[in-house]
Amino acid sequence: MCGITAVLLAGADTANGVANGLLRSGEAATARDWALTASKCLTHRGPDWFGCWPGKFSRPASESQSRVAFGHTRLAVVKPETGAQPIVRTDEHGNTKTVLVVNGEIYNYKELLETYLKNYTDELRSDCEVIAMLYEELQDFEKVMNLIDGDFAFCLYDLQKDCIFVGRDRMGVDPLYIGHTAAGSLLFASEMKAIHRWCVQVDQVDPGAILTYNYNSAKGMWMEREKKLLPRYPTNRFCESPGEPFGDCTKEVLANVRNTLEASVKKRMMSDVPYGVLLSGGLDSSLISAIVCRHANDARDDGSHVYWPQVHSFSIGLKGAPDLIAAKKVADFVGTVHHEFVFTVQDGIDSLPDVIEHIETFDVTTVRASTAMFLLSRMIKAMGVKMVLSGEGADEIFGGYLYFHKAPSAEELHEETKRKIQLLNHYDVLRANKSTMAWGVEIRVPFLDQDFMSYCMNDWLAPWKMISGEDNTGRKRIEKHILREAFDTPDEPYIPEDVLWRQKEQFSDGVGYSWIDGLKDLAGEIVTDAEFALRERTYPFLTPESKEAFLYRRIFEERFGTASARHSVFTEASIACSTSTALEWDQEWKKNKDPSGLAMKEVHNGKK
């Protein structure tokens, strides 16, 4: 993953260089000036190299140089020697055809080359270059988006058609923001901080978005020609139920869940630099770690290149935290070289301003969980690791949060998982990407693979997600029961049985229960009763509901301070990570102001 910027400049903005702090002289600002300035805010995402298109030019610039520019800060993970961006492709006469800037990885690029691009003789410079090559070959941007399998956000400029294409992966694993200036310019960036100060409005580009822009010379600005949205997960490829509704989950279903996750993990091990796994000791990260170890062992045995004889795993928590204890047990079982980092409540508190600046949100649950991940990522980067695999997404797919115990029916539980998945780019996916990329560490999330989700999000699977009754072994069903059953293979166990059937901990809870108490105490000391009483006047938009939320909002406003920044944030009422819709399941939930999983006392086995 990297950091990208794209500037589609309106004519009226070219004269605003001095006003926007882009130029020292009175010269007109080109799109390149804007892209260079914006990209400086993203160097943490790409510390290995920087590139900009257009390249060097003399003033006054040509019209095309004045109104389009791409910037790229690179984190080199695949093809580090040749994969610099922006990727500029030329015709046989040396004229530029397309320019591409990408944040992400394309996991099936080799298959696409073999199937659609056999006539291309040039050596591929990057896995991402296949996007431009496919577009040139097919001349159908929507088809390209449906063919590529990966995590990505990109902008592609077809100079011959004077057309800009923008795409983001279906789940929004890689962030992308769009900003609008008052004069009509369009600015794209991997993070809001790169563009918000120039914009009257900043939003996330929708996951799965396919955007097309053409330049309107009469209006002197770029205009959206077409917008389409790909579904988060195309379920039509697995439309037939293989079993009886409300019966025991069949061996075929369990095998398909297991095999598709295995395949997802394997494709995400594509790397030319050292990588590892995040291991919290919960079910999801433990399964990912176990699968990575199995495939790494196979690769080593067949003579494939591996950086270490063993996979390295990483965990973090307060002293004595539940996650640390479970993670060490799993690491010993699956055979990783395990690294355990212990932080204090004060360590976390001291980092809060930087955490909020990097994750670009004031959502309470996200801030709580991001802090430990932010600290851990710094340690991981210090050890020379540039990519990690992690377990985000399983709770949303299988109903893993504790509040799902109160789902009134299997159908409603499944609908809630759909709602959760629609919001992932605002919460866990945002946290995972920005907390790690704050230190130049790429994160990959196998549970959000499109094939895995296409299978596991089918409506016919809903009855088997319900958390009630017993399974065919007489075991009481708990959250994510299907996933646990799929990997319950006693003859060749993936992880220890007690971890396989361990109850869910939210990451912010699992790192140590005193962490949340410490945050609440801090907010109580800093935010006065008088300030909190005036919270609606101080923050009329998304008014904080607790002193802790008030504190995070204050830090956010101090770091950003623009209307466009605050309006780019999404947050809603929640309990134990629920959507606001699920609060209707229990009227008492609406009275609760703490979103922690510990609020579900009747189903939680932990102790403060």
Provide the annotated active-site residues: 2
Strand 201-204 vs strand 209-216: parallel, antiparallel, or unpaired?
Answer: unpaired
* Cα(46)–Cα(280) distance, integer angstroms: 26
The gap from C-alpha 181 to its chain's centroid, in whole angstroms, comes to 26
Residue 393 CB coordination number (10 Å): 26
Backbone angles phi and psi of 53, in degrees to 5? -125, 135
| Helix, strand, coil % in the chain, rounded to nearest 5 | 40, 15, 40
Does the annotation place 127 within a ligand binding site?
A: yes
Nearest to 60 by CA among 88, 32, 19: 32
DSSP string, 533-576: HTHHHH--SS--SSHHHHHHHHHHHHHT--HHHHTT------ST
Does the annotation place 4 within a ligand binding site?
A: no
* Cα(577)–Cα(484) distance, integer angstroms: 21
Backbone angles phi and psi of 56, in degrees to 5? -60, 135
From residue 83, how far is each of 74, 273, 476, 525, 570 by CA, in Å? Answer: 9, 13, 51, 50, 34
Backbone angles phi and psi of 17, in degrees to 5? -60, -45
DSSP three-state, residue 447: helix
| Residue 145 structure tokens | 């988006």
Tell me the one-letter amino acid at 512: G
Residue listed under structure tokens 């209707």: 584
Nearest to 444 by CA among 283, 325, 291: 291
Does the annotation place 278 within a ligand binding site?
A: yes
Burial of residue 302 (number of CB atoms within 10 Å: 0-12, 13-18, 19+) = exposed
Burial of residue 605 (number of CB atoms within 10 Å: 0-12, 13-18, 19+) = exposed
Angle, nearest 10°, between helix axes 129-138 and 109-116? Answer: 30
Strand order through the sheet with 68-74: 49-53, 68-74, 3-8, 186-189, 177-180, 201-204
Does the annotation place 482 within a ligand binding site?
A: no
Angle at 300 between CA 295 and CA 306, to 5 degrees: 95
Does the annotation place 179 within a ligand binding site?
A: no
Dihedral sign for Cα 78, 82, 87, 93, please: negative
Annotated binding site, which residues? 127, 278, 316, 390-391
Residue numbering of the annotated binding site for L-glutamine: 127
Known binding positions for ATP = 278, 316, 390-391
